[in-house]
Amino acid sequence: MIGILGRVAAALFVAIGLIVGVTAVNIWWTARQDERPVSDAIVVLGSAQYNGTPSPIFEARLDHALDLYNAGVAPTIITVGGRQTGDRFTEAEAGLLWLAEQGVPEEALRAIPDGSDTLASMQVVAALFVSQGLSTAVLVTDPWHAMRATRMAQDSGILATSSPTRQGPAVQTRSTQVRYIARETAAYLFYRLTGSSVAGAPGID
């Protein structure tokens, strides 16, 4: 009996290890893809901001979104994200202000100042898409966050692809990359199991 239980436990351990390993590899692979089909909108996932000034992680995302806009990927950039307690600006507002300062015209910008995590952000974007008759989006976030963000967007009804940023603190060192992949692997599996979002590394919750 003990032998059978031991073999079952070992098989279960191997299966879990395979699932975790495959997920981590897929996150790594997705992080290296750059899908930028002509779409209805470029959606920039929010991150920390300081009194209206985007954090380095957030600015890297915004700068990449600006490159996509200038390349003609989409006619509109949507910034997403709420505010922390005590903040004067939402993440969405800080992102919109930064893009406007770079010369993006007002009519090409839209801020959605809601969403405390990735899933909530994708749900409010999906609601906007329905109301505006939009369907396709290119998501801009950190490389390691791209797979989970895209999955959440697709589950919310958006035809989403991802074009992750290639600069910023999230990609500076190998140890940082390993840490972010590990956290994203846990967050992605948690979402697939529960349908809920969970806080991850700074800027990728």
The pLDDT, as a whole number, for residue 178 is 86
Q: At what angle do helices 91-101 and 56-70 cross, to 10 degrees?
A: 50
- Residue 172: which pLDDT band, with cuts at 50, 70 and 90? low
Q: What are 90-121's pLDDT values in tens digits?
A: 999 999 999 999 999 999 999 999 877 899 99
CA dihedral 118, 124, 130, 135 (to 10 degrees): -30
Sign of CA dihedral 100, 106, 107, 112: positive
In this prediction, residues 43-47 reach a mean pLDDT of 92
Question: Alpha helix (H) ranges present in 75-173?
Answer: 91-101, 118-132, 146-155
**81 burial via Cβ count (<10 Å: 0-12, 13-18, 19+):** buried
pLDDT classification of 1: cutoffs 50, 70, 90: low
Residue type, 77: I
pLDDT of amino acid 201: 38
The burial class, CB within 10 Å (0-12 / 13-18 / 19+), for 28 is middle
| Confidence (pLDDT) at 200 | 43
The region of weakest confidence among 35-49, 148-162, 175-189 is 175-189
Query: Cβ–Cβ contacts within 10 Å for residue 69, how many?
Result: 21
Kindly report the backbone phi and psi dihedral angles of residue 82, in degrees, each rounded to the nearest multiple of 5, phi listed first.
Answer: -90, -160
User: What pLDDT, on the 0 to 100 scale, is given for residue 190?
Assistant: 93
In which band, very low, low, confident or very high, does the pLDDT at 139 lie, cut at 50, 70 and 90? Answer: very high
User: What integer pLDDT is reported at residue 4 of this predicted model?
Assistant: 77
Q: Is the pLDDT of residue 170 over 70?
A: no
* Mean pLDDT computed over every residue of the chain: 88
Which single residue is written with the structure tokens 């995302």?
Answer: 61
pLDDT of residue 171: 63
* Residue 114 contacts residue 120 (beta carbons within 8 Å): yes
Torsion, Cα 64 137 147 156, to 10 degrees, reads 140
Phi, psi of 47 (to 5 degrees): -150, -175
The more confident residue out of 6 and 76 is: 76
Helix (H, G, I), strand (E, B) or coil at 171: helix
Domain ranges of the chain: 26-194
CA 77 to CA 74: how far, in whole Å? 7
- In percent, the amount of the chain with pLDDT more than 90 equals 57
CA distances from 66 to 6, 107, 188 (A): 55, 15, 27
The stretch 138-160 carries a mean pLDDT of 95
Which secondary structure element, helix H or strand E, spans residue 191, and what is its range? helix 174-194
Band (147; pLDDT cuts 50, 70, 90) = very high
- pTM across the whole model: 0.86
Flag whether pLDDT at 204 surpasses 80: no
Domain 26-194 matching CATH 3.40.190.10: the answer reads no
